[in-house]
Amino acid sequence: MAKIKHKRLKISIYIISTIIVIALVMGLYIRSTVFKQLQLTETAYIYITPTTSYEEVMNQIVEKVNLPSDKIFELLLSKMNYAENIKTGRYAIINEMTVPQMIRMLRSGNQSPVKLTFNNMRTREDLSGRISEQLMLDSLTLLSALKDANQTELLGFDTNTVVAMFIPNTYEVYWDTSVEKLLARMQKEYNTFWNESRKAKAKAIGLSPVEVSTLASIVEEEATYSDEYPIVAGLYLNRLKRGQRLEADPTVKFAMGDFALRRILYKHLEVESLYNTYRNDGLPPGPIRIPSIKSIDATLSPTDHNYLFMVAKDDLSGRHNFSTTHAEHIRNARKYQRALNERNIYK
């Protein structure tokens, strides 16, 4: 009887030992799997909007990240209550991050900023579209804000000049930033850009910062090469000082909404618009594009000369002939028109 009991005890000990070993092995496997570092060849980005579901977040991660175990991942999401803590944003999953670290990042809303850039923008529509390509913002929502007189007034602008607030550069912002926060950030960057030095230069040429941006936008549209920016700026400033109309072709293109025009005809000069500087004195109501920092600084430091007229060179290089007299200007203009005729460019 004692032998039987002893044998049963040995079997029980063996079974218990086996269970313990299996449990330890499973525990070590689970632990090593849970805390195994992700092996990524490049950073994976997860995008979460207010309408992104729990399942959609999971699917994004499974598709973009080679997880050690999908089952353990789902178990951790449940244990860490992620379903109740989904936050919008753009999240960077980096190489050697562990799954718990990834879930904690998502749950806490610790997103990675986006490098927001915009340049070569002509209209509010262009700007809104470019920004919406990089952020969660809807382009129509941003455009609506830029066309809202009350909202632009709060920013210190009007609906024509508000584009001057956007200084082309690279900014770090969160992907899910709101329209209000974006505009506040751009206003802050604008105020930083217009430091005392630039304000002093603007005052020296008799313009406000917004007027400088407006003139710089014309300069940039007019000159293909940046080395001509200061010369063109000086020419338009000479005209303003004399009370002479700017008669800038780019303002006619803007007024017509046709930036592809290569040849401005007399019929184009008659377009009814406050932006048409052939029909209106002084500067137009606002910028005809979002001027670059280079064109703004060139306008603030114009070349000192007596030029009043300019026309594109007849070699169609994009450069200009500058002149001080109307007679000289007419001669240069005829050369350019002849060059256009020879190349059958009539519009």
Res 218: pLDDT:
98
Highest mean pLDDT among 14-23, 183-192, 324-333: 183-192
CB 172 within 8 A of CB 115: yes
What does the chain come to in residues?
A: 347
Res 39: pLDDT:
80
Other beta carbons less than 10 A from residue 68's beta carbon: 17
Q: Give me the residues paired with residue 116 across strands.
A: 171
Residues 6+ apart with CB under 8 A from 261: 252, 253, 268, 347
Q: Rounded to an integer, what distance in angstroms lies between the CA atom of residue 27 and that of residue 292? A: 60
CB 157 within 8 A of CB 281: no
CB 58 within 8 A of CB 118: no
- Could you tell me the two tokens for 181? 């926060």
Other beta carbons less than 10 A from residue 192's beta carbon: 9
- Per-residue pLDDT tens for 94-122? 988 899 899 999 999 999 999 999 999 99
Res 302: pLDDT:
98
CA within 13 Å, CB half, 342: 9
Res 23: pLDDT:
46
Q: Collapse the DSSP code of 114 into the 3-class scheme (helix H, G, I; strand E, B; otherwise coil) and give the result.
A: strand
User: Is the predicted pLDDT of residue 26 greater than 80, yes or no?
Assistant: no
Q: What number is the average pLDDT over the span 22-35? A: 46
User: At CA 90, angle to CA 86 and CA 94, rounded to 5?
Assistant: 105
pTM for the structure as a whole:
0.84
User: Is the predicted pLDDT of residue 183 greater than 60, yes or no?
Assistant: yes
Q: Rounded to an integer, what distance in angstroms lies between the CA atom of residue 345 and that of residue 142? A: 38
- Per-residue pLDDT tens for 146-171? 999 999 999 999 999 999 999 999 99
User: Is the predicted pLDDT of residue 35 greater than 90, yes or no?
Assistant: no
User: Is the predicted pLDDT of residue 300 greater than 60, yes or no?
Assistant: yes
Q: Collapse the DSSP code of 92 into the 3-class scheme (helix H, G, I; strand E, B; otherwise coil) and give the result.
A: strand
- The pLDDT confidence band at residue 22, using thresholds 50, 70 and 90, is very low
- Per-residue pLDDT tens for 207-217? 999 999 999 99
Rounded (10°) CA dihedral 300, 301, 302, 304: 140
Q: Is 189 exposed, middle or buried (0-12, 13-18, 19+ CB in 10 A)?
A: middle
Res 69: pLDDT:
78
- The pLDDT confidence band at residue 86, using thresholds 50, 70 and 90, is very high
pLDDT, mean over the chain: 89
Res 157: pLDDT:
98
Which residue matches tokens 């029980």? Answer: 12
User: Is the predicted pLDDT of residue 346 greater than 80, yes or no?
Assistant: no
User: Is the predicted pLDDT of residue 132 greater than 50, yes or no?
Assistant: yes
Q: Which of the 8 DSSP states describes residue 301?
A: S
Res 219: pLDDT:
98
Res 238: pLDDT:
98
Residue 7 or 223, more confident: 223
- Per-residue pLDDT tens for 243-265? 999 999 999 999 998 888 877 87
- The pLDDT confidence band at residue 347, using thresholds 50, 70 and 90, is low
- Could you tell me the two tokens for 193? 């850009």
Q: What number is the average pLDDT over the span 118-128? A: 94
